[in-house]
């Protein structure tokens, strides 16, 4: 894959697959959170609002609003960029065997295009290196080659919200926060070496066992191969595929 970014450090993340197919477009506020208690004004329904959320240094404190806005942003980015990814850390039932799983969903032009069973890290949002949690939020991503898993997708964690939290919790210095902001502002990879953690990938090696990884998102091998086959040409063309991770 042209333009793969190679690191000598190993990343840890695992996923697994559910099935394929296209669905009619849904209002993600309804499809994902029930849409029964969130005012319509909180919905993101334009690419400008989606980009503003991506660039934000804070997200809504209400978890339902946060979940809805990240999901809406993924849909909007997929309409402009062609594809976007949503990793859902709420347990769902597969249509095949009623197994309870986490899902990685690929959206294409605003529609659900593929859905895969995903393994993620321990429950909760990532806070610090080594906590084995999968970060939540809205991120850029890059094609990536890790030492252990081969071709993968690097989720560009930490983002600005994470940097702000890191300053407040005395996990990183203002200089490190400035490095994170500079990298994101220039379309580069956020520093992976701070105490916030890093090297969060979407890679192969998934088992479908839900809490399986040390913070990454893991797909079963065949599903990861399919995902890279779909998104590889997009990364090669220079398009940044956005990744939303919700709880």
Q: In this predicted model, what pLDDT tens digit does every residue of 100-143 receive, in sequence order? A: 678 999 999 999 999 999 999 999 999 999 999 999 999 999 98
| Residue 7 pLDDT | 31
- Residue 170: cis peptide before it, omega within 30 degrees of 0: no
Full-model pTM? 0.83
200, 11 Cβ separation under 8 angstroms: yes
Beta bridge partners of 152: 144
Q: How confident is the model at residue 93 (pLDDT cuts 50, 70, 90)?
A: low
Q: Which of 130, 148, 126 is nearest to 139 (CA)?
A: 126
Q: How confident is the model at residue 8 (pLDDT cuts 50, 70, 90)?
A: very low
Beta bridge partners of 87: 104, 245
Q: Is the pLDDT of residue 10 over 80?
A: no
pLDDT in tens, 144-201: 876 688 899 999 999 999 999 999 999 999 999 999 999 999 999 999 999 999 999 9
Question: Distance between CA 103 and CA 227 in Å, rounded?
Answer: 13
- Where does residue 229 rank: exposed (0-12), middle (13-18), buried (19+ CB within 10 A)? exposed
Mean pLDDT of 219-235: 95
Question: Distance between CA 27 and CA 31 in Å, rounded?
Answer: 6
Beta bridge partners of 142: 154
């Amino acid at each position: 894959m042209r333009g793969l970014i190679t690191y000598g450090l190993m990343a840890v993340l695992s996923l697994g697959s559910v099935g394929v197919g296209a669905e009619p477009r849904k209002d993600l506020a309804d499809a994902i959170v029930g849409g029964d208690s969130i005012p319509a004004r909180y919905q993101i329904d334009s690419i400008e609002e989606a980009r503003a959320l991506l660039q934000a240094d804070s997200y809504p404190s209400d978890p339902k609003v946060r979940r809805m806005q990240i999901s809406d942003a993924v849909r909007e980015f997929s309409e402009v960029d062609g594809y976007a990814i949503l990793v859902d850390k709420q347990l769902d039932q597969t249509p095949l065997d009623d197994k309870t799983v986490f899902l990685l969903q690929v959206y294409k032009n605003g529609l659900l295009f593929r859905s895969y069973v995903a393994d993620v890290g321990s429950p909760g949002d990532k806070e610090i290196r080594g906590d084995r949690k999968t970060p939540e939020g809205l991120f850029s991503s890059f094609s990536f080659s890790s030492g252990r898993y081969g071709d993968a997708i690097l989720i560009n964690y930490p983002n600005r919200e994470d940097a702000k939290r890191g300053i407040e919790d005395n996990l990183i210095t203002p200089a490190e926060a400035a490095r994170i902001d500079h990298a994101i502002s220039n379309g580069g990879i956020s520093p992976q070496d701070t105490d916030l953690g890093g090297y969060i990938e979407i890679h192969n090696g998934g088992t479908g066992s839900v809490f399986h990884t040390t913070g990454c998102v893991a797909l079963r091998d065949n599903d990861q191969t399919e995902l890279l086959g779909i998104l590889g040409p997009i990364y090669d063309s220079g398009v940044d595929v956005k990744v939303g991770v919700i709880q």
